[in-house]
Structure 1
Amino acid sequence: MKAPISWIKEYVSVPADVSTEELTHRLTLTGLKLEAIDSPGAQITGPLVVGRVLTMEPEPQKNGKTINWCTVDVGEANGTGEPQGIVCGAHNFAPGDLVVVILPGGVLPGNFAISARKTYGHLSAGMICSARELGLGEEHDGIIVLPADAGEPGQDVRPVLGLDEEVVELEVNPDRAYALSLRGIAREVLVSVDGASDFRDPALRDTPPANDAGYPVVLEDRAGCPVFVARKVTGFDPAAATPTWMVDRLTAAGMRSVSLAVDITNYVMLETGRPIHGYDADKLQGPVVVRRATPGETLRTLDGVQRTLDPEDLVVTDDSGIIGLGGVMGGETTEISESTTSILVESAHWDAVSMFRTGKRHRITSEAGKRNERGVDPTICEAAADRVVELLVELGGASADPGVTVVGEPPAMPVITVAADRAAKVSGMEISEETVVETLRAVGCEVSGSGTLTVVPPPWRPDLVDPQDTTEEVIRLVGYDRVPSVLPTPPAGRGLTRAQQLRRRFSRAAAAEGFVEVVTFPFVGETDFDALGLPADDERRRALVLENPLSNEAPMMTTTLLPGLLKAAGRNVGLGASSFGIYETTTITVPTGGAAPILGVDRRPTAEELAALDEALPAQPQHLGLVAVGDAETGGWWGTGRPVDWADAVDAVRALADSVGLRVTARAVEVAPWHPGRCAELAVDDQVIGHAGELHPKVCAAYGLPRGTVAAEVDLDRLAEHAVHLRTAPVFSTYPLAKEDVALVVDASVPTADVEAALREGAGELLESIRLFDVYTGDQVEAGRRSLAFALRFRAPDRTLKEGESARARDAAVAKAAELTGAVQR
């Protein structure tokens, strides 16, 4: 909303020492945020004066254009007192007219410097200005002709044109439509600026009472249009020009001048906030009727668009049919034109919700609709109509018809009950009951009671409907800037939850193994599952489909972390990285198959409904995925390097488990996207937690990765279930270690993990560690079998082992391995 400061001060007195900056600062603190302070003449420098045209000689040019060679009296402004010779291309003036002249040395908006220059065979010393050249509007086909009493030649023209006016632009919240008017802004200045007083309400005026001589109006839908006021004028001069002062104010407020009748309705709308519509009364046929549209009805609105109406649209009709969309836009058939001499003025109050829906439905944006859809004072319809009639009579030579039509009555405002100390409790400020009452009355509320207040908001404040609104009103006017900054006291004894601590531990363990954390997008498509080589019946293909995906190529939530990690790894390889490891910890999404119920918003859901919502939520377990590329150990002068292999991926998962006191067992399986024979199924206490190994060569090729790339993915939630959360430091024995090595021959199909588990079980409590250090297949072992060599280490916590104790423990371990796996000692 743009408002000239002088116009604001017509309705409220502001102390002389309050600058525009201070005034707008106070408005900003109370909710009307300053967007800009503009002065139309701020970009104009140099001599800008009143000039009187003395002579005007038309001179046709070879290009078909006719210019005027003029002599203009600019008084003593040019330093000589002699007439100024100026070339002008406009033709809407004559000798004797007063015009606006900028002399050489002046600068117009856009940094357009004026100098004496030769043009069309003359030395033109200055410019006769149009409104567009001065930044006062878009009119540029004709220059500004000043009123005869505008001043003497050579006089500074800035005060005449309002170029020294300051215009403030304020951001108005949608629920405060009253501030889309000078009336509303002046009222805000009254309650915001210290020392402001003497509010003069432009809507407070004596209006003639309703009578039976008014134009007939019928309200069939009083919920959509509670009040309809109609006034008529006759004998209006359609050729009457809008006075300069009104054009200047409309322009400063951001509206263009159209015609006197339209300008008057816009002026009163800016003045009071009440949208007004005018009909050519001679084109009306029969009484005006307000109703809802019927299916299939159409209307050609003032913007020339033929619109098909909706049964929810409020329309204004007469005997000829629909003549306007109520409160939004009029129709072409009754539009005020250049020949209109009789005008019916409509000042009606419309339901805000209906206005908003109609405007959105038909994609119509107008100044009237902007106000009607936000809520306007319903009690000033008669005053606004009377003000329009007054201006039509005064400026357009019209005669006011004695008939006055007033149908309906304004809706009642809500009665609000609020505790007097509520504002103090909410804000933390000391706000007395007396201050609360004074503040609410200052904004127009009726307040009664003590302790518990009964508040009736003013009719121009439809945003005040409950105790929260009145409380906010008090706090904003007392001052948001005075609300104390008090930080809440955090509860003691709390920290990270067990799940959070475990997730951090897992992440640190992965980082300690040399992997770098990355974050990828959780969206996948069928092409990602194809690249992983997943079979058609793989459970991981059953993903949750998004209603509005970011990309049609990835419309689903991922069920595995590998697609995102492999894409990230491929990008790094493409950028020249040859050896690296990356990991990610986040959730995957597993659909449950249930559909979420659609619940209403008029009540709290029942326990059963909340349970149904929870049931429909997809499972989102926490996973960790990792990928390693290139060398596990770099070669150099110290020796040869080693590429990563499937065991590195398995060892990384073992490190995760070890960080929470768990031991992982591995078993060979065939699962996509890993290479057959180089994939391990990982388990803790016989519960599968994930898989690790070397990726299939086709998968590597699909993602642009070198052969031999390894990956792993584990379910952290399952690891957390078994985790030893609070680990104590291990107790080390100071007694000597006993070493025993065994080599066992087993069938090639027997997993190494099974043999290790059997040895561990048979060895008993003295076993400190077990390690596989050799696997042999060759001439000394039968075909289809292999030899596994294990290093067993025994130690007692409280004594030195006696001769034979470690051997007996070794033999017990071998016996158990023979029993459970068929192993034979070599």
Structure 2
Amino acid sequence: MRAPLSWLREYVELPAGETGRDVAAKLIEAGLEVETVDRLGAGIHGPLVVGKVLAIEELTEFKKPIRYCQVDVGDANGTGEPQNIVCGATNFRVGDKVVVVLPGAVLPGGFAISARKTYGKVSEGMICSGGELGLPDDGTGILVLPPEYEPGADAVEVLELVDEVLDIAVTPDRGYCLSMRGIARETATAYGLQLRDPALLDVPTPNAEGYQVEVADPRGCDRFAARTVTGLRPEAASPLWLRRRLQKSGMRPVSLPVDITNYVMLELGSPLHAYDRTRLEGPITVRRAVAGELLTTLDGTKRKLDADDLVIADETGPIGLAGVMGGIDSEVADPEQDEQSGEWRGTTEVVVEAAHFDPVTVARTSRRHRISSEASRRFERGVDPEAAAAAAQRTVDLLVLLGGGTAEAGVTYFVTPHGPHTVKIPASHPGRVAGVDYPREAVVRRLQQVGCDVYGQDELTVTVPSWRSDLTDPNDLAEEVIRLEGYANLPSTLPRPPAGRGLTERQRLHRRVGRALAGAGYVEALNYPFVGADSFDQLGLAEDDPRRRTVTLVNPLSDEEPAMRTTLLPGLLAALRRNDGRGSQGSQGSLALFETGLVFLPTGEETRAARLRVDARPSEEEIASLGAALPRQPRHVAVVLAGPREQPGWWGEGRAAGWADAVEAARTVAHAAGAELTVRAAQFAPWHPGRCAALYVHGADGEEQLVGHAGELHPRVVKALGLPQRTCAMEIDLDAAESAGGGVVPAPSVSGFPVATRDVALVVDESVPAARVEAALREGAGELLESVRLFDVFAGEQLGSGRKSLAYALRFRAADRTLTAEEASAARDAAVASAAERTGAVLRGAEAAAGA
């Protein structure tokens, strides 16, 4: 909402020296969001006057129209002689009043005006268009003024060029501030001044002579006022002051009847509509549309109506969408002048509609037809229902005053009776909410400033004003008291958590995993939990893949992503693609991202949630029913990485990120969860079938449980998503890993006894997994084994076809003594024997000797 300060002063007698920034600061303190204060006319300096065109000489020797004009500027030039000005516009004639800028003046943008010779003539100034003065430019050319202004008059005052406009972002709960009346009320309250309410008008009593109106849906329309004005002069144009106020408020002048309805809407906040009475057939009816009815709205679009649409209709059918937009068949015609006779044609009889429509109905109709109009924005946020009659009267008064019309004696006013809304609130409630002791007198005074009627002592009975439909419960009233008393006066206090409470084990694990991955070089990326079918297609998931079974939202943010995610990979891979496309690789030239978050896995056993009451805390049974209606929501952690994992340099060759790095990230997560991870080769989309690992943990019952996958993505997936080549990823069920590990991570121990290291190289069949060999070594080595590490894999002709060599480093240590060489060697031999028995492994040297 744009509020000109000059207009605001009509309703609030502000101090003379108060600027727009001063008013903005007061309104911000009162809780309004003033985004900017525009200073209009700040770039205009020097003489800018009204001129009368006395003569025009057409200069025809140039390629474009050039006119040499004599303009009467009164005594503004100090001589009283006409001013000679060269102008290229042709939309004015002799006798017209125009805006003249004299030499020495400066126009917006630092454009200095001086007398200069052009097109063979000396031009002593300039005749201005609206755009050159900083006004909205309609493209018609020179700005032609109404004839009543005298030559030499100050055009800055005539055009109200100097002003300040407050641009206020009106939140949905403050719809009353979408009007000068509402903003003036807030300004008067902020300054402690009296409000001159523009809605306090003498409204005639309804009678049977007014235009016939039938309201078939009182719930959708509880107020409807109709007034008729006849005898309007078609040639009557909106006065300059009215057009300027509309322009400053961000609206375009159209014609007198339309401009007046827009002006009254901005002034009082009540949207109006004007019908050409000669184009109406029979009574006006407010009803629900018949499904399939057609209506061509003012924007020229033919719309197919829904049965839930509230429409204004006559005997021919719908003539407008109630509270949203009127129809083209009954609109007020633009005035036209007959070129031969000079007579004006246009609307001479107008029926004015001022109504109050149900906000929910208007909002749904607006969204259904994708129309966001000035009227719908106000009705959605709440319009004062009691202002309809005053708005209709104000419109009629202006049509009579400015259009030369006559108001008919008939007055139609439909009202659905209902009592005022009251709220009971303890006088101490605002203080308890704010943590500040507000006296009862302060609470009552602030509520009265809002417009409420207040009765009672310790418990107050508050009657809410009609323009504040947002005040529905005690907390709303408490907010009004607190904001008017001043948010700046609230003490700054830190919240005190209850004693004995800290992070849950799940939260501790979440942080532990995040620190571990960050330490490994990954950067956390948070993504929206929404996916679409295209995401699963790009990942190459089969049609029967369980991850395609999703929870679909009723009101998604995007129609392309209507479902909740079942995997973290779509969002994380999209983040990787964006960062790679924008050159946001890290200092090492690589990208490594991770995310920890919930996935949503429907089981098919969810029940329908019961609607909870709002006046009491839900019971345990109701909370349980809500839980039963939710899908399973395990916490997952995923990583994606691409590019070099180790940079080349003088220290040696670099290394690109590979599937093993993704597996190592899984080990990092499992270690943080206290779980022992087992890795096996697998085939699982979207990973490369030859470079994919399945991740297992041992559950509490000793059984292995699949918790995730890691490896290099399939080339088709990389191409479909536009990812860097050889992109790798890992995803693991963190809740399952936590359950397997018990959430306990053993602290590292430091032994005072030396370690005994033995290396073994075992030759096994190429199909034997290294993890299987490692498990056999661990089982055979016994309690003295501290760790096993695979440090080399070799395959060559000397081993034979289909064979490979796995070299392990075994570390042995006793907790209470120094191991002897014999003890270490015996443990090593037992480990090798176990591997030979379970995997067919043979010591590399022994195999060669046997072959010899």
Task: Work out whether the TM-score is over 0.5.
Answer: yes
Mapped partners of 1:170, 1:303: distance in 2: 27
Structure 1: gaps spanning 5 or more residues: 531-535
The amino acid across from 2:304 in the alignment is T
Q: Secondary structure at the match of 1:248?
A: helix
1:725 aligns with one of 744, 747, 752: 744
Mapped partners of 1:516, 1:274: distance in 2: 59
8 Å Cα contact 1:234/1:398 also seen in 2: yes
Structure 1 range deviating more: 378-387 or 601-610: 601-610
1:484 aligns with one of 471, 475, 491: 491
Q: Secondary structure at the match of 1:188?
A: helix
Query: Structure 1 residue 454: deviation in Å?
Result: 1.3
Structure-1 residue corresponding to 2:162: 164
8 Å Cα contact 2:707/2:736 also seen in 1: no
Mapped partners of 2:418, 2:674: distance in 1: 73
8 Å Cα contact 1:760/1:770 also seen in 2: no
8 Å Cα contact 2:424/2:461 also seen in 1: yes
1:399 aligns with one of 401, 406, 416: 406
Mapped partners of 2:483, 2:186: distance in 1: 12
C-alpha spacing 1:51/1:427, structure 2 compared with 1 (3 Å)? same
Mapped partners of 1:252, 1:803: distance in 2: 94
Query: Structure 1 residue 701: deviation in Å?
Result: 12
Structure 1 range deviating more: 243-252 or 55-64: 55-64
Mapped partners of 2:247, 2:261: distance in 1: 14
Structure 1 range deviating more: 654-663 or 447-456: 654-663
Structure-2 residue corresponding to 1:617: 632
1:475-624 alignment runs, 5 A limit: 475-491=482-498, 497-499=504-506, 516-517=521-522, 525=536, 557-558=566-567, 586=596, 591=601, 593-594=603-604, 596=606, 599=609, 603=613, 606-607=622-623, 609-614=625-630, 616-617=631-632, 619-622=634-637
After superposition, what is the alpha-carbon deviation per residue over 1:445-491, rounded to whole angstroms, capped at 9, x for unaligned? 11111222111111112222222221221122112222222221245
8 Å Cα contact 2:778/2:831 also seen in 1: no
Query: Structure 1 residue 377: deviation in Å?
Result: 1.8
8 Å Cα contact 1:592/1:619 also seen in 2: no
Is 1:356 equivalent to 2:363 in the alignment? yes
Is 1:423 equivalent to 2:439 in the alignment? no
1:723-762 alignment runs, 5 A limit: 725=744, 727=746, 730=749, 732=751, 752-753=773-774, 756-757=777-778, 759-761=780-782
The amino acid across from 1:245 in the alignment is W
Is 1:208 equivalent to 2:204 in the alignment? yes
After superposition, what is the alpha-carbon deviation per residue over 1:513-534, rounded to whole angstroms, capped at 9, x for unaligned? xx5335688997566569xxxx
C-alpha spacing 1:551/1:163, structure 2 compared with 1 (3 Å)? closer
Structure-1 residue corresponding to 2:272: 276
Mapped partners of 2:28, 2:208: distance in 1: 48
8 Å Cα contact 2:610/2:626 also seen in 1: no
Q: Secondary structure at the match of 2:419?
A: coil
Structure 1 range deviating more: 393-402 or 66-75: 66-75
Structure 1 range deviating more: 35-44 or 214-223: 35-44
Query: Structure 1 residue 608: deviation in Å?
Result: 5.3
8 Å Cα contact 2:198/2:268 also seen in 1: yes
The amino acid across from 1:328 in the alignment is V
Query: Structure 1 residue 439: deviation in Å?
Result: 0.8
Mapped partners of 2:648, 2:230: distance in 1: 99
Mapped partners of 2:92, 2:805: distance in 1: 111
Mapped partners of 2:710, 2:470: distance in 1: 65
C-alpha spacing 1:482/1:342, structure 2 compared with 1 (3 Å)? same
8 Å Cα contact 2:599/2:635 also seen in 1: yes
Query: Structure 1 residue 56: deviation in Å?
Result: 1.0
Structure-1 residue corresponding to 2:849: none
8 Å Cα contact 1:505/1:659 also seen in 2: yes
2:284 aligns with one of 282, 288, 310: 288
Query: Structure 1 residue 103: deviation in Å?
Result: 1.0
Mapped partners of 1:258, 1:729: distance in 2: 80
Mapped partners of 2:792, 2:467: distance in 1: 90
Structure-1 residue corresponding to 2:306: 310
8 Å Cα contact 2:446/2:484 also seen in 1: yes
1:168-207 alignment runs, 5 A limit: 168-194=166-192, 196-197=193-194, 199-207=195-203
8 Å Cα contact 2:423/2:473 also seen in 1: yes
8 Å Cα contact 2:98/2:142 also seen in 1: no
The amino acid across from 2:160 in the alignment is G
Q: Secondary structure at the match of 2:163?
A: coil
C-alpha spacing 1:120/1:297, structure 2 compared with 1 (3 Å)? same
Structure-1 residue corresponding to 2:336: none
Mapped partners of 2:470, 2:157: distance in 1: 39
RMSD after superposition? 5.7
Q: Secondary structure at the match of 1:185?
A: helix
Structure 1 range deviating more: 246-255 or 640-649: 640-649
Mapped partners of 2:311, 2:718: distance in 1: 67
Query: Structure 1 residue 402: deviation in Å?
Result: 2.2
Q: Which has the larger radius of gyration?
A: 1
Mapped partners of 1:550, 1:314: distance in 2: 26
Query: Structure 1 residue 415: deviation in Å?
Result: 1.5
Structure-1 residue corresponding to 2:231: 235
Is 1:373 equivalent to 2:380 in the alignment? yes
C-alpha spacing 1:229/1:64, structure 2 compared with 1 (3 Å)? farther
After superposition, what is the alpha-carbon deviation per residue over 1:128-167, rounded to whole angstroms, capped at 9, x for unaligned? 334443234435345433554x45x545332222223333
After superposition, what is the alpha-carbon deviation per residue over 1:429-455, rounded to whole angstroms, capped at 9, x for unaligned? 332221111111112111111222111
Structure 1 range deviating more: 130-139 or 517-526: 517-526
Structure-2 residue corresponding to 1:461: 468
TM-score in terms of structure 1 length:
0.77
Query: Structure 1 residue 282: deviation in Å?
Result: 3.5
The amino acid across from 1:243 in the alignment is P
Q: Secondary structure at the match of 1:610?
A: helix
Query: Structure 1 residue 192: deviation in Å?
Result: 1.1
8 Å Cα contact 1:281/1:342 also seen in 2: yes
TM-score in terms of structure 2 length:
0.75
8 Å Cα contact 2:709/2:731 also seen in 1: yes
C-alpha spacing 1:612/1:279, structure 2 compared with 1 (3 Å)? same
After superposition, what is the alpha-carbon deviation per residue over 1:61-116, rounded to whole angstroms, capped at 9, x for unaligned? 36797665432333443344432112344464534x65431112323334444333
Query: Structure 1 residue 22: deviation in Å?
Result: 1.2
C-alpha spacing 1:82/1:348, structure 2 compared with 1 (3 Å)? same
The amino acid across from 1:71 in the alignment is Q
8 Å Cα contact 1:58/1:66 also seen in 2: no
After superposition, what is the alpha-carbon deviation per residue over 1:159-201, rounded to whole angstroms, capped at 9, x for unaligned? 222223333332222332322222222211111124x22x222
After superposition, what is the alpha-carbon deviation per residue over 1:237-258, rounded to whole angstroms, capped at 9, x for unaligned? 2223333332332333333333
After superposition, what is the alpha-carbon deviation per residue over 1:744-778, rounded to whole angstroms, capped at 9, x for unaligned? 999999964565355435xxx77888999999999
Structure-2 residue corresponding to 1:533: none
8 Å Cα contact 2:666/2:710 also seen in 1: no
8 Å Cα contact 2:311/2:322 also seen in 1: yes
Structure-2 residue corresponding to 1:74: 73
8 Å Cα contact 1:349/1:381 also seen in 2: yes
Mapped partners of 2:90, 2:793: distance in 1: 103
After superposition, what is the alpha-carbon deviation per residue over 1:15-68, rounded to whole angstroms, capped at 9, x for unaligned? 334333211211122233223333443232221123344x31443636797665
Query: Structure 1 residue 397: deviation in Å?
Result: 2.5
The amino acid across from 1:609 in the alignment is S
C-alpha spacing 1:807/1:99, structure 2 compared with 1 (3 Å)? closer
The amino acid across from 1:437 in the alignment is V
8 Å Cα contact 2:70/2:83 also seen in 1: yes
C-alpha spacing 1:454/1:59, structure 2 compared with 1 (3 Å)? same
Structure 2: gaps spanning 5 or more residues: 334-344, 847-852
Is 1:267 equivalent to 2:263 in the alignment? yes
Q: Secondary structure at the match of 1:232?
A: strand
Q: Secondary structure at the match of 1:358?
A: helix
